[in-house]
Amino acid sequence: MSKFDFDLFVIGAGSGGVRAARMAAAMGVRVGIAEERYLGGTCVNVGCVPKKLYVYASQYAESFSEAAGFGLTTQGTNFDWPTLRDNKTKEISRLNEIYRNLLVNSGCTLMDGRAVISGPQSVQVGDKTFSAERILVAVGGWPFVPDIPGAEHIISSNEVFDLETFPKRVIVVGGGYIAIEFAGIFAGLGCDTHLVHRGALFLKGFDQEVREFTAQEVAKKGVKLRFNTEIASIEKHSDGRLKVVFIDGQTELADQVMYATGRVPKTEGLGLETVGVALANNGAISVNEQYQTSIPSIYAVGDVIDRVQLTPVALAEGMALVRSLYGKGSPPVDYELIPTAVFSQPNIGTVGLTEEDAIKRYPQLDVYRSEFRSMKHTLSGSEERTLMKLLVDRSNDKVVGVHMVGADAGEIIQGIAVALKAGATKATFDATIGIHPTAAEEFVTMREPSRSY
């Protein structure tokens, strides 16, 4: 008999934690898992899933408008926020129950409550303490909201999905993908939307041309962009409206102010410092290549280690860890060529290097670029345009980056990511027959570089 209550105790039932717990339990490992908030973590409850549902909702009004060019007319539309909000809540509740069943049926011991590390091999949940040979921390991240006068009036991505009433006028603050996505959601649902960012342009770290093109297209959708400024203070009026004062002294009135200014690892109060787990300056847990912390019996995966904050990455890390601990070993997670999408309007899909980074790594770089108005919009009347880019290392013809801004970019880039992972060259793209008529076929019909380095 083991001297421990559990072989593995997982703190946090989000994407990485649930996947690791289920896999380990399937291998015969005695697994305990605790979650203090909601099963499925950020992605299922206040992230990817509800956000994508709201993105779908926000696209309908534009689609109804565009339908007139195809001979379909309506007598006007009415948006009912409680219907969307409550239907979303029902769906999330259904997913929560699925996660609960997956964990319990896999053999895990699930505990509803906050878990705190009380020793290198012990965890306290409520008034009970459990011993574990190994502990895995997978608690994810938490929205960062700056401490400014009136900060109590700010909402984050945690609260935005369940507002009591839908705002008529909103200010979204931030320059990352969450800010861009919610600006599009609010605008698409009929809200007067302002996007404020302290930098000169949003989406830092993305391809520069993609950033500039996206700003152009987002503005076409009615989002008012305000760069190079910050909010100094927020004051609530007696009628409930918020007076927003910017650092240059200008003011705006809004019904809601949402901050999407980044997320920080949710490590506070976990007992990590008590047992000596090393943390980075931002609170992220420091781990080695095996996801092991400075305390050999404690591991961490997902957003809490702040490597790549994406749900599929957390899943991959959880699986890699369990295989290495309890299976026949596992190759390390490959952080190269991770595809990603921004569900802005229009979408962004990207995999591989930006043009700016590719130039530094590959001095002989060819850039293939195409910009066009999609076939649909020749009748819809929309002025939305699509951008596609291929970056090719001329020395060996290898495709090192692919970027797209346009409808269904995420769906298209997923398949292309497989090709890049397999080592596709420009000749591979050229030899592939396109599917006609689609926007995606443009990726296999770009013959001459737009520019070369």
Say which residues have a Cβ less than 8 Å from residue 236's Cβ, sequence separation at least 6: 150, 153, 242, 243
DSSP 157-175: TTTGGG-SS--SEEEEE-S
Q: How many distinct helices (H) and strands (E) make up the chain? A: 12, 23
By DSSP bridging, strand 122-125 and strand 128-137 are antiparallel
- Cβ atoms 256, 163 nearer than 8 A: yes
- Cβ atoms 175, 203 nearer than 8 A: yes
- The angle subtended at Cα 26 by Cα 23 and Cα 32, nearest 5°, is 75
By DSSP bridging, strand 6-11 and strand 128-137 are parallel
- φ, ψ dihedrals at 264, nearest 5°: -120, 150
For the chain, percent helix, then strand, then coil, each to nearest 5? 35, 25, 40
Question: Which contiguous run of DSSP H or E holds residue 143?
Answer: strand 141-143
- φ, ψ dihedrals at 424, nearest 5°: -60, 140
CA distance 138 to 11: 6
The answer to whether the bond into 265 is cis (omega within 30° of 0) is no
Which amino acid makes up residue 236? Answer: K
- Cβ atoms 156, 32 nearer than 8 A: no
- Cβ atoms 229, 196 nearer than 8 A: yes
Written as six digits, the tokens of 186 are 């609010």
Q: At what angle do helices 48-67 and 177-188 cross, to 10 degrees?
A: 40
Of 197, 237, 377, 436, the catalytic one is 436
CA distance 230 to 200: 12
Size of the chain, expressed as the number of residues it contains = 453
CA distance 274 to 271: 5
Taking only the tens of pLDDT, the chain with its 453 residues reads: 679 999 999 999 999 999 999 999 999 999 999 999 999 999 999 999 999 999 999 999 999 999 999 999 988 789 999 999 999 999 999 999 999 999 999 999 999 999 999 999 999 999 999 999 999 999 999 999 999 999 999 999 999 999 999 999 999 999 999 999 999 999 999 999 999 999 999 999 999 999 999 999 999 999 999 999 999 999 999 999 999 999 999 999 999 999 999 999 999 999 999 999 999 999 999 999 999 999 999 999 999 999 999 999 999 999 999 999 999 877 889 999 999 999 999 999 999 999 999 999 999 999 999 999 999 999 999 999 999 999 999 999 999 999 999 999 999 999 999 999 999 999 999 999 999 999 999 999 999 999 999
Has this prediction a pTM greater than 0.85?
A: yes
Question: Which contiguous run of DSSP H or E holds residue 82?
Answer: helix 81-106
* Structural domains of the chain, with CATH: 6-142+264-326 (3.50.50.60), 151-261 (3.50.50.60), 340-452 (3.30.390.30)
DSSP 450: S
Catalytic site residue 436? yes
